[in-house]
Amino acid sequence: WSPCPTPSSPGRDSRPGMLGMLRQSSWQCRGLAPLLARAQSSAVTSTVKANENSLPLPHEKYTDSTTWEKYQEGIRHGEPNMRTYNYMLMGGARLMGASLSRLILIKFLAQMNPSADVLALANVEVDISNLAVGKSLTVKWRGKPVFVRRRNEDEIAEANNVNLSELRDPQTDADRVRAEPEWLVLLGVCTHLGCVPIPNAGDFGGWFCPCHGSHYDISGRIRKGPAPYNLEVPPYFFTDDGKLIVG
Compute the Cα dihedral for 221, 227, 229, 232 and give only its sign. negative
Would you name the residues annotated as active-site residues? 212
Residue among 210, 221, 111 nearest 160 (CA): 221
Model confidence band, residue 181 (pLDDT cutoffs 50, 70, 90): confident
3-class SS shares of the chain: helix, strand, coil, % to 5 = 40, 15, 45
Residue among 223, 224, 199 nearest 148 (CA): 199
Q: Is the pLDDT of residue 225 over 60?
A: yes
pLDDT tens string 119-170: 666 788 888 888 888 888 888 888 888 999 988 888 888 888 988 888 898 9
Residue among 163, 143, 150 nearest 223 (CA): 163
pLDDT tens string 22-75: 455 554 555 555 555 665 555 555 554 545 455 555 555 555 666 777 766 666
For the beta sheet containing 214-217, the strands, ordered from the edge strand earlier in sequence to the opposite edge, are 198-199, 205-209, 214-217, 222-224
pLDDT tens string 77-113: 556 667 777 788 888 899 999 999 999 999 888 888 7
